[in-house]
Structure 1
Amino acid sequence: MSTETTPQPLYGGWRRSKTMGIATLNSGQTVVVVGAMLTPIMVIILGGPLSTLTVTVPIALTVIILTVWQRHGMPLMSYAIGRARWSLANMRGETSYRSVFLPSPEALDLPGMVAPTRLIRAESSDGRGSTGLVWNQRTGTMTAALLLNPAGSLLASGTTVRSQVSSWGDALSRLADEDGVQMAAVTLQITPSSGAALSDHVRGRLDPSAPPLARQAIRELVDGAPRASAQMAAWFSLVIDPAASPEKPAGPAESAAVTLAALNAVDLSGAGVDILRRATDVDIKRLVRGAFAPADMDAPAAEIEKLVWHEVGPVAAEDEWTHYQHDGYYSTSWVLREAPRKLVAYDTLLKLLAPGQFTRRVTLVYRVLPTEEAQAVVEREINANDARRQYRERTKRTSTRRERVDAAHAERTAEEEAMGAGMVQWSIYVTTTVDNAADLPAARREIEKAGRSSGGLRFRPAFGGQSAALVVGLPVGINPLL
C-alpha cells in the first residue's frame, strides 16, 4: 500500500515599499543626507568664514548619523523627533485623559484618536436586523464589522489550505472593485479564562435521562480538560469612505446605506471562516469596552446595551511612551517592523495567536489598492530599483544578495499585477493587556517570544503611540495605512 503526501504550501515574497534614494535610503533620507553634506560647502561659497566649519560640520555629521543609523527598524532621526513630540505633548498634558473633568461636550468623547467617532444604529431593509456603524465625524468614514467564527485548519489537507488562502486572496481582491473601501482588518482577541466556564456549561446541560456510560464519559472529559482555557473573539472590520462612492451621499443616513451595501458585498465563503452575523451596536460596544476593560468582555448584554458611546471607554487614561494605562489596566502594543524574508507555512502565526497568560489582541490590517494606484505603485518601485542599479554601476559597487532578491520580488510583483493580480498593503498590530503593572515585563516577554517563533516576523514597540495602536484593532475606523 502506498500513500501520497501533499506538500505543504509555502508563501512569501513580501517586500517593503521603497522610493528612490542612495543605497538603502529612501527619498526623504537621501534629501536630508545630501542637504547636510552641502550645507558647510554652501556656507563657505556664500562668503562665510572658515571658522564656521567648526560648527556646521559637526552639526551636519550629527544629522547624517541620525538619518542613516537605525533603532528598532527606524532612523534615529525619526525616533528622536517622535520622542520630542511625545515629550512636548506630555508637558502640555495632552497624554492624560480624565473624562470626569472634561467640559461639555468633550466629556462625551472617547480618548485620543477615537474622540470624533459616534456609534449609530442602522436598520437594513433586507430583514437582517440592525447593524452598528461607527461614524468618524472628522474624516467622514464609516466602519462596520462582521463577527467571525474561525475554523481550525491544523488538521486540514494541503489542498484545503491552498483553497482557503486563495479564497481569502480573492476576497481581498474584490474589495479593490468596491468604491470607497479604505481599509479592511481582521482582529482576533484571546482572553485567558479558567476552566470553570467550560465545566459549568457542560454540567448544566447533562440530560439526567442519558445513559449512565455517556454521562460518565462526559464528566471524565470535563474533569480531564485543562484548568486554564481561553476565549477567542474574532471580527472583520471594513472602513468605508462614502464620499468616494459614485452615489455621493448627502448625509449620515445615505452614508450608512452605502456602507451597508459595501458590507453586503464581502464574501468570505471558502476562506476558512464562518460569518456569525453583522455586528450590532451592542456588539461594537462590547468589543470596545472589552479592549479597555477585558473583564467586561463577558458582561451581560443588558449591561452593555445600557452604556452610551463615551462610557465604553476609560474614565481615566495615561498614554506613556512604552505603555498605555487605562482604568487600572496596562496595555503595551507592537507594530510590524519586517515581514518574513523566507517562505513560510500557512500556520506561521499560530504561536502568536495561541492562548497565553495575558490577554492579547492581534490585528492584520489591509489596504487594497485600486487598479490605477496599484499600477502606479508598481511602476514607482521598478523605477526606484532601476535608479539604485544605475547608482551601483556608476559607483562600481556590487549589489548584495539581499538587493538582488528584493529586485527579483519587485519584478515578480510587477508581472503579477500586469496579469490582473491585486496589490495589498498590510501590517500587523499586537496588543497585550494586564491588570497589574508588575506583569508588564512578563507580558512583553511573552509577546516577543511568540513573535520570534512566528516565521521571521519582526516587531517593534509602538513608542509614543500606544493609545493609537490599541484602538487600531477595534472596529472604530482608525486607518494606520493612510
Structure 2
Amino acid sequence: MSDPTLYGGWRRTHTLGIGTLNTSQTFILVGAVLVNLVGIVIAGLPALPLTLPISLTVIVLAVWQRHGMPLLSYATGMLRWRLAAARGETSYRGHFLPVPEALDLPGLAAPTKLIRAQAGSRTVGLVWNQRSGHMTGTLLLQPAGALLAAGSVVDTAVSSWGQTLAQMADEDPIAAASVTLQITPSSGHAVTQHVTERRDPNAPQLARATTDELVARAPRASAQLAAWFSLVIDPNRAGEPTKNPAEAAGAALGVLDGIDLGASGADVLRAATDSDIKRIVRGGYVPSDMDAPAQQIEDLLWHEVGPTYAEDGKDIYEHDGYYSISYVLRAAPRKDVAYDVLLRLLSAGRFSRRVTLAYRVLPTEEGRALIERELNASDAREEYRQRTRRSTTRRERVDAARANRTADEEAVGHAMTQWSVYVTTTVKSVEDIPAARREVEKAAKLAGGMRFRPAYGAQSAAMALGLPLGINPLL
C-alpha cells in the first residue's frame, strides 16, 4: 500500500520589517525610539523620564502577541467593540428599528437583498449587496464520502478542486468563494422511520431480519449534513458595466453556470432557489426553523429570515433564544497533512456546527506582484540578519523555502489563493455554552495542527460568514 498524498506549503503573508516584525510594527518601533531622541534634542535629558515610559508601552503593545495578533491590534479592536456597545450598536431589535432599517438584516448583512432570478425554466436565488454591487449565487451540494475511496480517487478529487480554484483566477467577475458544511445532530429515530416507511411486507424473511438487525445496530445519535458552495460575483467586471440589478443578475447567472464541481468529490444538486437561501439563513439564526414547512419559508420576507432580536457580545452571539460561538483560523498547519485533516472538525457532536472555508483566488497580475513583494521582504530580512550577525532559525529557513517554492509554482502558471476557515457552533441553552466550547476546541486541536481563536468582538460578523450572504473577509 502506497503512502497517502500529503498537502501543505501554506504560509502567512509577510511584509518588510525588522526581524520578524511586519511593516506597521517596524514603523511603530522606529517612531517610538525617535520620540525619545527628539525629546532629548529639544528638552535635554530631563525629557527622557516623560517620553521613555510612553514609548516603551507603545513598543510592548506593538511587538507582543495575543491570540496570534499584536497586542496593540487586539486592544484597538476591543476598544472599538466597547465603544460600539456603549452606543448600542451591538444590539438589534427588529421590531423597534425605524424605517427603512426595520427591513434590514442585522450587522454586515444589512445591505443585502434577495433576488429571484429566472434562468429558463429554473428559479435561482441571488443575494445582492447594495453597497458593493456584488451578487452571490449558491450551489447546493451533496458531499460524497471519501474515507473508503481509493487513494487515486481522492487525489483526483483534490487535484480537480485545485484546478477549479485556479480557473477562478482567470474569471474576472469572480471576487471570492466559500464552501460551507453544516452538521446538525439528530437521533437515530430518523433512520428507523426511513426504513419503516419503505419496508416491503412481502420481502423475504432473511431480508427483513437483516434490515431489522442493521437498524437495531445503527447509532442512536446521527447527524444531518448540509453543504453549499457560494460564489461572490462582481457583475461590473464581466464586461460592459451593468445598468440595473436585472442586468447584474444575468451576468452573475452566466458566471455561476460556468462553475464545474463535478470531479471535486461533491455532487451539485442544483442552484439554490430564493426559498433555499431563505431556509439556510433562517436556519442559521433560528435552527429550529431549518426543517420548517416549505410554505412557511416561502412566505417569509427577506428581513424576516433574520432574528427578531440579537446581542453581539465579546465572545457570544445571542439571537432569538439561541447562543452562537464563532472561531476564526489563527494559524494553518505547519506540517503537511492528509486530505482528511478536517474530519474531526466535521464529525457530528452534541451541538450544531457550521464550518466554512473561504477562498479568494488572486488575479494573475495581483498574485505575481504579491509574490515579488514577499521575496523582497524575505531578502530584506536575510540582509538584516547578516548585518546583525544573527543566525537564522529553522522556522525562518522553512518559511523562506516555501516562499521560493510558491514563486516557482506561480512562474509555471499556478494560481495563488488566500484562504481561511471559520467555525460556528450554536446551542439552545446558556448552560451548554462551556460544553460547546470544549467540543469545538477539542476537535480543532485534532485538525492537523490548525489553531483557532474566538472571534473576539466580531461574533455576529463571523456567524454571517457561514451563511450564503456573500460576506467574505478576504475581499
What corresponds to 2:131 in structure 1?
138
Once the two structures are TM-superposed, the CA of residue 270 in structure 1 deviates from its matched residue by 1.2
| 1:275 alignment counterpart | 268
| SS of equivalent residue, structure 2 residue 142 | strand
Partners of 1:185 and 1:236 within 8 A in 2 = yes
Which moved further from structure 2: 216-225 or 64-73? 216-225
SS of 1:204 mapped into structure 2: helix
- Counterpart amino acid of residue 23 in structure 1: G
Kindly report which structure 2 residues correspond to 1:300-319, keeping only aligned pairs within 5 A, or say none.
Answer: 300-319=293-312
Instruction: Name the structure 1 match of 2:18.
Output: 22
Letter in 2 for 1:104: V
**Structure 2 equivalent of residue 81 of structure 1:** 76
Given the alignment of the two structures, is residue 202 of structure 1 paired with residue 195 of structure 2, yes or no?
A: yes
Counterpart of 1:317 in 2: which secondary structure?
A: strand
Number of residue pairs aligned between Structure 1 and Structure 2: 475
The answer for the alignment partner of 2:390 in structure 1 is: 397
Counterparts of 1:66-465 in structure 2, within 5 Å, are 66-125=61-120, 127=121, 129-465=122-458
SS in 2 for 1:353: coil
* Cα distance in 1, alignment partners of residues 101 and 67 from structure 2: 36
Question: Are the counterparts in 2 of residues 132 and 282 from structure 1 also a CA contact under 8 Å?
Answer: yes
Quick check: 1:59 aligned with 2:54?
Answer: yes
The RMSD of aligned alpha carbons is 0.9
CA distance in 2 between partners of 1:314 and 1:354 (Å):
27
Q: How many angstroms does 1:69 deviate by?
A: 0.6
Aligned to 2:29: 33
The corresponding residue for 2:2 is 6
Deviations 1:52-96 (A, max 9, x none): 322211010000001111011011101110110000000000000
Deviation at 1:202, TM superposition (A): 1.4
Letter in 1 for 2:78: R
Deviations 1:102-133 (A, max 9, x none): 111111110000011000100013x3x11000
C-alpha displacement of 1:475:
0.8
Q: Deviations over 1:349-403 (max 9, x none)?
A: 0000000110000000000011111100110100000000001011111110000
Q: Any idea what SS the aligned residue of 1:347 has?
A: coil
Name the CA distance, whole Å, in 2 between partners of 1:370 and 1:38: 40
Aligned residue identity for 2:362: L
Q: Does the 8 Å CA contact 1:6/1:159 hold for their aligned counterparts?
A: no
Cα distance, 1:180 vs structure 2: 1.6
How far apart are residue 215 of structure 1 and its match? 2.2
| 3-state DSSP of counterpart to 2:34 | helix
Q: Tell me which amino acid in the other structure corresponds to 1:379.
A: E
Secondary structure, counterpart of 2:43 in structure 1: coil
Q: What secondary structure is seen at the aligned counterpart in 2 of 1:345?
A: coil
Q: Which moved more, 1:157-166 or 1:461-470?
A: 157-166
The share of aligned pairs that are identical, in percent, is: 63
Task: Judge which range, 82-91 or 289-298, deviates more.
Answer: 289-298
Q: State the secondary structure of the residue aligned to 1:479.
A: coil
Q: State how far apart, in whole Å, the 2-side matches of 1:103 and 1:413 are.
A: 51
CA distance in 2, matches of 1:422, 1:156: 28
- After TM superposition, give the deviation of residue 208 of structure 1 in Å: 2.0
Question: CA offset at residue 298 of structure 1?
Answer: 1.3
For 1:36 and 1:473, locate their aligned partners in 2 and report how far apart those are by CA, in whole Å: 40
The more displaced of 51-60 and 61-70 is 51-60
8 A contact 1:187–1:236 mirrored in 2: yes
Deviation string, structure 1 residues 248-300 (Cα, Å, up to 9, x no partner): 11110110011111111111121111000000000000110111111111112
Q: How far apart, in 2, do the equivalents of 1:375 and 1:391 lie? A: 24
Structure 1 length normalisation: TM-score? 0.97
Provide, for residues 414-451 of structure 1, a one-character-per-residue CA deviation record: whole Å limited to 9, x for no partner: 00000000110000000000001111111111111101
Distance 2:15 2:302 in 1: 42
Partner of 1:350, secondary structure, is coil
- Give the unaligned 5+ runs of structure 1: none
Distance 2:367 2:201 in 1: 62
Equivalent pair of 1:66/1:75 in contact (CA under 8 Å) = yes
1:182–1:241 contact (8 Å) kept in structure 2: yes
Q: 1:245: Cα distance to partner?
A: 2.1
SS where residue 198 of structure 2 aligns?
A: coil
The answer as to whether partners of 1:285 and 1:309 remain within 8 angstroms in 2 is yes
By how many angstroms is 1:229 displaced? 0.8
TM-fit CA distance, 1:49:
4.8
Following TM superposition, by how much is the alpha carbon of 1:44 offset from its aligned partner in structure 2, in angstroms? 2.4
Tell me which stretches of 4 or more aligned residues in structure 1 moved more than 3 Å.
none
